[in-house]
Chain A
Amino acid sequence: MTFARISSFNRTALKAALASAVVLGSTGLVGTAHAANDSTNATATVMAPITIVKATDLAFGKFSALTGGTIKVDTDNGISVTGGVLKGTGSTGTAARFNLTGDTNNSYSISYSGAGNTALTHTDNSTTMALAKVSALTAASGTTGLLSVGALSAGVGSIYVGGTLTVATGQLPGVYSGSITVTVDYN
């Protein structure tokens, strides 16, 4: 039946049908040719490396142990003793100072070797005194505790490290030394 109907088209009707097909085809193309495009930003921040260099060693100077006690060097270089410890006349203390450079707009973490305590060892490689460290970003007095975070100002900064040394009664005379490693990393 269908075939018979198609075959009965006259020539004019067939042309019209073809024309319609072309229109349909065009309409279909319009429908599927929609494309959309959008742009966005891409960003990256390259930071100046953070660096740390020791500028000054921590020194407790000369003292006598006598009945023992403590000797403290504050981050502002102030020195004080407790108990029987007797500071040497004219002897001064200095806090350690580390100088930093890096990116101003980022805080950094600070970690210290030996956690809170560092042992200073006599040249006999056996006798020790315990050092409880304190730190500050400025040469402040009355510093307690260890800072775990800092921030640079205009790309530079410092970390000051002092501490309290525990001196035993009759602590073996001699030269004691140890080392403190301070590590900084961007947060």
Chain B
Amino acid sequence: MIELTDEEKDHLRKDLEKIFEMTESLSQVNTEGIPPTSHGHLSLEGVIREDKIKNSLSRETFLENSPDHIAGMIRVPAVIDKEA
């Protein structure tokens, strides 16, 4: 989810039109029967490691970067209305 100002929306609409126009040339390429590529490796399978328990970050360390926390938990605005 992302909020945009009206000015940004106008500007982006124009830019994206131009950018997608640039990508139109791809429609000329015949890709019938060509499989898609979704990874960066040419030859290798993913590397799997042994499933071992290791220390993870402490709660205190993790919370240091959170914008708002209380009693060891991250705080966000109320999700459920009090009255409901």
Q: Real complex partners, A and B?
A: no
Q: Footprint of A on B, CB under 8 Å?
A: none
